[in-house]
A and B are shown apart, each in its own frame.
Chain A
């Protein structure tokens, strides 16, 4: 199975900051990488698919880049609503696999 290594596991930041989360695949996955946001007590929500495509309704301060093995999620101008846990997911091959998650907390 493809392993997804996500970093950092936790991050403290302030409103207005720029935050970068990375995911590395154990082997190339082309652009088949998605990013999800999960808030406590809520279901995950799709933010970005195909590495860089913003899902409908997601604010433009979220962006994604990368291909093959290295991917990043960037949040420009953190808003209070963005403090949550973020996961990457490779859907290139079965079994699909999530990164370990990044908990984004308020500094």
Chain B
């Protein structure tokens, strides 16, 4: 069974750094991109970006480029989302999700987010 298990909730002060984690199991971790998605209070889902564990290639949404850093440790089957200096506006629920790979005869390959972590709540407050 494919599973993504995220680290627990965090309470931080503005300016502090933070790294949260997402551990994959039940599949070959290196073979599937891992996406990060933000859900701010009262808002909708936002696609932050994606990382390929095989070679650490990353794609950031322009809205998050320079604000966060994605990384992986293949030996631990774990992806990370990191902030160097948190702001109150970073308060949100953060999800990781596996990008699956599905073949549709006649239409080719498709790559939905087919398995999600349980989410990590990050609260930034002075």
Partners in one complex: yes
Binding site for B on A (CB under 8 A): 1, 31-32, 34, 36, 38, 43-46, 49-50, 53, 55, 85, 87, 89, 91, 94-101
B112 and chain A: residue at smallest CB distance: A49
Cβ–Cβ contact A91 & B44, under 8 A: no
29 residue pairs A–B, Cβ–Cβ below 8 Å = A1-B62, A31-B110, A34-B112, A34-B113, A36-B45, A38-B45, A43-B95, A43-B116, A43-B117, A43-B119, A44-B37, A44-B95, A46-B100, A49-B100, A49-B110, A49-B112, A50-B102, A53-B110, A87-B44, A89-B112, A89-B113, A91-B111, A91-B112, A94-B50, A94-B61, A95-B63, A98-B46, A100-B44, A101-B45
Residues in A with CB closer than 8 Å to B100 are: 46, 49
Interface string of B72-102 (1 = CB under 8 A from A): 0000000000000000000000010101101
Cβ–Cβ contact B62 & A95, under 8 A: yes
Cβ–Cβ contact B45 & A94, under 8 A: no
Known: A49-B114, A98-B44. 11 other contacts (CB 8 A): A34-B112, A43-B95, A46-B113, A49-B112, A50-B104, A50-B107, A53-B102, A91-B99, A95-B63, A98-B45, A101-B44
What separation, in Å, do the CA atoms of A85 and B102 have in the docked complex?
25
Count, chain B residues at interface, CB 8 A? 29
Tell me, rounded to whole Å, the shortest Cβ–Cβ distance linking A99 to chain B. 8
B114 and chain A: residue at smallest CB distance: A46
Main DSSP-derived SS at the B contact region: strand
Cβ–Cβ contact B118 & A43, under 8 A: yes
Given contacts A31-B107, A49-B102, A50-B102, A87 and B118 within 8 Å (CB-CB): no
Given contacts A87-B45, A97-B47, A36 and B113 within 8 Å (CB-CB): yes
